């Protein structure tokens, strides 16, 4: 084990996979010697050269399309956008091309590419630099969606995504980049796709969440534990395919479910989890399913307004306290 940051864990995953497979290439803006917007690829150009760590112009649709074509013809490109919000510019290449090519070719073509998206709020970066679009891409048949919350998961999940033969949307929360934790040194350490992780065991209520909200849920759980409320925290890790078995097993034990996400409430991942519970776990529920999310408004630029809009530890505590019959 080594102690490293989330961003370093991602860089380690990239370097290990590039050593393992010469077909892995990185594509994006300022990746070579600047290291990308958040320093993840720093040092990789020195080892692997400019043919495999490739700088691109400000043309997200163009270089995403380049990656789709490269993946279809034998490479394994890892694309980095400087901010995940700009994936809207590249979405035609992902939704209409990458997601469909395997099906439309009768299985003759695979598109083994990863789209890395720095995302999320809590940085007062305003509406064009703060959003998360995981539910958009989870809706699309042919795409897989992953959202690591810890350094170890960041490494193991990115390696799994790179080795997968399908296009993977890989969301990295910007507030996680400097978080540190233990990360396995084993170059074959992989986190299985579609497998959630129980980050905290509990008996009274299950919080199902992902990405940066995992840390909020864990903080809320510690506060509630002092009040005698034992919270189980499930980190989905993979949004699609989703590990519904772990969710249902936990709620069968606790009989209460909180679906927590950072982004907008309407048509989000929390709603999908709630639908699964309503259909397959209804008899286990002793209280209505609770969703905690942001209201349907753009991310504010004002730090005070952003704090008001986004979920908070205090709000999670209050909502669970109310669910359990407290004030």
CA distances from 259 to 22, 43, 233, 310 (A): 41, 39, 10, 15
Contacts of 233 (CB under 8 A, 6+ apart): 198, 199, 200, 202, 206, 207, 209, 214, 217, 218, 221
129: annotated active-site residue: yes
For residue 64, the surrounding DSSP H or E stretch is helix 60-72
**Is 154 within 8 Å of 172 (Cβ atoms)?**
yes
Write down the catalytic residue from 129, 131, 173, 215: 129
User: Which tokens hold the place of 137?
Assistant: 């891409």
Q: How many residues does the chain have?
A: 327
Cα–Cα distance measured from residue 284 to residue 299, given in angstroms and rounded to the nearest whole number:
36
Q: Which residues have C-beta within 8 Å of that of residue 150, sequence separation ≥ 6?
A: 6, 176, 179, 181, 214
- Dihedral sign, CA of 269, 274, 277, 278? negative
Output the CA torsion sign for 95, 126, 53, 179.
negative
Task: Compute the chain's Rg from CA coordinates.
Answer: 20
- Please choose, from the candidates 300, 40, 304, the residue with its C-alpha nearest in 3D space to the C-alpha of residue 154: 40
Q: Could you tell me the sign of the dihedral formed by the alpha carbons of 209, 11, 118, 59, in that order? A: negative
Which residues are marked as active site?
Answer: 129
């Amino acid at each position: 084990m080594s102690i490293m940051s989330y961003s370093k864990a991602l860089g380690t995953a990239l370097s290990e996979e590039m050593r393992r497979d010469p077909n892995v290439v990185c594509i994006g803006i300022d990746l070579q010697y600047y290291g990308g917007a958040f320093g993840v690829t720093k040092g990789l150009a020195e080892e692997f050269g400019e043919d495999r760590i490739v700088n691109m112009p400000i043309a997200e649709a163009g270089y995403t399309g380049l990656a789709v074509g490269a993946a279809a013809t034998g490479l394994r490109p890892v694309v980095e956008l400087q901010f995940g919000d700009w994936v809207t510019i590249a979405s035609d290449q992902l939704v209409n091309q990458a997601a469909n090519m395997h099906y439309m070719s009768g299985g003759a073509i695979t598109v083994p590419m990863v789209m890395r998206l720095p995302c999320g709020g809590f940085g007062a970066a305003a509406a064009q630099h703060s959003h998360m679009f995981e539910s958009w891409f989870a809706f699309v048949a042919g795409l897989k969606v992953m959202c690591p919350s810890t350094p170890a998961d960041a490494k193991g999940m990115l390696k799994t995504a790179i080795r997968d033969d399908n296009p993977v949307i890989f969301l990295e929360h910007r507030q996680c980049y400097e978080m540190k934790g233990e990360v396995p040194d084993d170059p074959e350490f992989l986190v299985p796709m579609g497998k959630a992780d129980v980050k905290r065991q509990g008996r009274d209520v299950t919080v199902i969440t992902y990405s940066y909200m995992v840390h909020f849920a864990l903080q809320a759980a510690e506060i509630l534990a002092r009040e005698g409320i034992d919270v189980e925290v499930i980190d989905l890790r993979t949004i699609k395919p989703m590990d519904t078995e772990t969710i249902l097993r936990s709620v069968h034990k606790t009989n209460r479910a909180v679906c927590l996400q950072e982004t907008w409430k309407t048509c989000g991942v929390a709603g999908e989890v709630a639908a699964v519970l309503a259909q397959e776990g209804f008899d286990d529920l002793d209280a209505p399913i609770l969703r905690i999310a942001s209201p349907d408004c753009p991310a504010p630029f004002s730090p005070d307004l952003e704090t008001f809009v986004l979920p908070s530890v205090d709000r999670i505590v209050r909502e669970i306290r109310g669910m359990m019959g407290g004030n």
